[in-house]
Structure 1
Amino acid sequence: MITIKDIAKKVGVAPSTVSRVLANKADFYTAETVAKVKTAARELGYKKNQSAADLVKQHSNVIAAVVSSVKTNFAGEIIEEIQKKAAEYGYKLIVVYSHSADPVEQKSALMTVIERPVMGVLLLSMALSDDNLKLLEEAQTSFCFLSMGFDDDRPFISSDDLAIGYQATKYLIDKGHRRIGFAGLDRYPNTGRLRLAGYQKALAEIGVTPEDHWVQSGDYSYESGLRAMQQYGAKTDLTGVVAASDMVAIGVLNQAHLFKLSVPDDLSVIGIDGTEMCEIVQPQLTSISQDFYKMGVAGVERLRQLDLKQQVVKNKQEFVPTKLIERGSVTYAAE
């Protein structure tokens, strides 16, 4: 017997999309998508079965979190709070991991989620490809990005990454540093691009143009921090480094130690995220701390509002405040 999954496979859309189109709930789909689905149904000889129709009508109490599998530790704090807040409302949570930059893996993760009834989807630091964003939109499932902002109208709850890059760099500048590196960030997706722009803005205000080797790319991982510090070298001309994550900061710190450089006397290091890792290393890491707990709570609340069809969410795009926490990894630059 032909099922909606067979039609979905033929057309290249989610089964939930097929269900809604065949149930005449196609208001949010393009005419092209509707035509393709109905043509495929006719060609395959599809006969409607009631269980498939019920799938569309079924109300779900399941929230799905799709998590970028970058090698940093920020996601655990968001997931923990999503889990707690979801439990308060009687919701269940499923977590699916995906490599953020790979469209094929992204699609696989999304299909795992949207081919079953879910109340909504929270995407943690996921830079979806255009095709995968369209796939998610066509599924007509509520969704919100967490810990990643955008220039277009996609819904998100995030820190202001431009402000983060600026604040971290300005803090070092106020401590007398002028030769400041930025280590371990992916400079192309929005998060890295905006943090880099904030860094450049702060330096431009004091008339400093960063040299090419000051900015070392990476993937926010511990290994990225090690590699960045190795590129800076034991005789680095930098006096301060902004690390793209706490894990990057620890990599920079440990490699600096291997070079017999003292942090913060020879090199000041400031991390971004402010997770528990900042307090279990020596010296403890000064950080721009993000409120991941608030992001998790706000994400669940957003999906709940949409599910209950409460008033239209006024601020589809919400910035969560950050906080500078001074610890022991930054000091004044030597005269």
Structure 2
Amino acid sequence: MRSGIKQVAEHAGVSIATVSHVINNTRYVSDEIKRKVYEAMEELDYRPNSAARSLRSQKSNTIGLIVPVLPSDTSNFFFMMVAQGIQFTLKQHGYHLLLSNNTTEQIEDEQEQIKLFNSKLIDGLFIASIAEDVSYLNEIVRSNYPVVFIDRKPAGYNGDSVLADGLGGAYEAVKTLIAKGHRRIGLLTGELGITTSNERYEGYQKALADHGIPWDPSIVKVAESNFESGYEGVKALLAEHDITALFIANNVLTMGAMRYIQERRIQIPAELAVIGFDDYDWTQITSPPLTVIRQPSYEIGVKAAEIMLKRIENPSAGSKEYRLPTALIMRDSC
């Protein structure tokens, strides 16, 4: 049986009226009492129903953001730029951003973070979910507020999504290598299953097919997205196969791969042409500077925030998918 406001009041050791005032922001309540009420709501998985929410005199003007960032993962640069774009846009409309990192990349922690946001009575949720299927949102969110997916488009829940054109970016990278005369083009990519990895993998395949180059799975390495996998992945590719070019489908794998390439003093692009994915400052100071696919990270944040604001004002509108173009940044590595 689902807990109600009475159970929350008993758990927090306060009156039902106090819980109501915290939820509806109708009277001053000390921060300490608010904390107890929020903790009770989280522990009991209590969520005010949509009818109760509509009776509130004010919105919380707070929107949650959940991103999967590991301490050693350079994807935090990407997500922090997305967050900056979101925050800048929301601030102009009087909204605040509440950020939470899923540092474990476990679905259970993702769910707990959303429940915590629910106790804060957020008006919307941005999320880059680690899951391919987010059907659990139907139970946790229950359409009480809009959800906008960023960087990836999972299945199982009806929400808007804003992401970069990963397929188009990967296609452009491989097409560029082909135009320079390469036919043996290796691929080092993160684990498949999320939109970003899947689409870059598909872009690689499509570019080869469109230019009459046979598909060779032996020169494709799918690895965990971390520095060590990038190092070991390119080491295996170069030891086992004769490739003249390499497309690396994410930033952290690119870093690991470049460490190995520079250790072995492999001449770029004379011995191996390289194109990486995502443009960070470090890609300009390698020897030679890296050609990369740049993602519009800040612009993704701005667009996601604009969509969120529209959804808050018009929650009945149908969900859409928004794709922002990537850009090929030509340097000297191919």
Indicate the TM-score class for this superposition, using the shorter chain for normalisation: 0.7 to 0.9
Are residues 4 and 241 of structure 1, via their aligned partners in 2, closer, same or farther at CA, if it must alter by over 3 Å? farther
Corresponding residue for 1:60? 60
2:270 corresponds in structure 1 to 265
User: Does the alignment pair 1:247 with 2:278?
Assistant: no
Matched, 1:171 2:176: yes
Q: Is the 8 A contact 1:121 1:142 kept in 2?
A: yes
Give per-residue Cα distances to partners, 1:76-109, cap 9 Å, x unaligned. 2111222222222222111111158522122122
Q: Kindly indicate whether residue 149 of structure 2 is the aligned counterpart of residue 145 of structure 1.
A: yes
Runs of at least 5 residues in structure 2 that lack an aligned partner in the other structure: 1-5, 12-39
* 1:231 counterpart = 2:250: no
Is 1:275 the counterpart of 2:280? The answer is yes
More divergent stretch after superposition (288-297 vs 112-121): 112-121
1:93 — aligned with what? 97
Separation of aligned partners in 2, 1:56 and 1:195: 46
Q: In the alignment, is the contact (CA less than 8 A) between 2:187 and 2:248 conserved in 1?
A: yes
Cα distance in 2, alignment partners of residues 203 and 128 from structure 1: 27
Report SS of the residue matched to 1:223.
Answer: helix
Correspondence for 1:135: 139
Name the CA distance, whole Å, in 2 between partners of 1:156 and 1:253. 32
Please give the alpha-carbon distance, in whole angstroms, between the structure 2 residues aligned to 1:327 and 1:180: 18
Secondary structure of the equivalent of 1:113? helix
Change (3 A) 1:76 1:232: same
CA distance in 2, matches of 1:252, 1:5: 56
Q: Tell me if the contact between 2:129 and 2:154 (Cα under 8 Å) persists in the aligned partners.
A: no
Alignment of 1:1-335 (within 5 A): 2-3=7-8, 14-16=45-47, 19-20=48-49, 25=51, 53=52, 57=56, 58-69=58-69, 71=73, 72=75, 73-98=77-102, 102-124=106-128, 126-127=130-131, 129-138=133-142, 140-149=144-153, 154-234=159-239, 236-309=241-314, 312=317, 316-330=320-334
Q: Which residue of 2 aligns with 1:30?
A: none
When the two chains are superposed, the root-mean-square deviation of aligned CA atoms in Å is 3.0
Scaled by the length of structure 1, what TM-score is found? Answer: 0.77
Q: 1:232 to 1:176 in 2, by over 3 A?
A: same
2:136 alignment partner, SS class: helix
- CA gap of 1:54–1:253, structure 2 versus 1, over 3 A, is closer
CA distance in 1, matches of 2:114, 2:316: 27
Distance 1:216 1:61 in 2: 45
1:273-294 superposed Cα distances (whole Å, 9 cap, x missing partner): 2233322433222111111111
Amino acid at match of 2:268: V
- In 2, the alpha carbon distance for the partners of 1:220 and 1:129 equals 20
Q: State how many pairs are aligned.
A: 295
Question: 1:4, CA displacement in angstroms?
Answer: 8.3
CA 1:286/1:14 → structure 2, altered by over 3 Å: closer, same or farther?
Answer: farther
**CA deviation after TM superposition for structure 1 residue 326, in Å:** 0.4
Change (3 A) 1:79 1:111: same
Percent of paired sites with the same residue: 25
Unaligned runs of 5+ in 1: 26-52, 331-335
| TM value normalised by structure 2 | 0.78
Q: Is the 8 A contact 1:249 1:271 kept in 2?
A: yes
1:130-163 deviation digits (Å, cap 9, x = unpaired): 3433235415221101111357854101112222
- Contact 1:305–1:311 (Cα < 8 Å) also in 2: no
Structure 2 counterpart of 1:319, which letter?
R
Aligned 8 A contact 2:68 2:102 in 1: yes
Moved more, 191-200 or 202-211: 202-211
Counterparts of 1:66 and 1:245 in 2: how far apart (Å)? 20
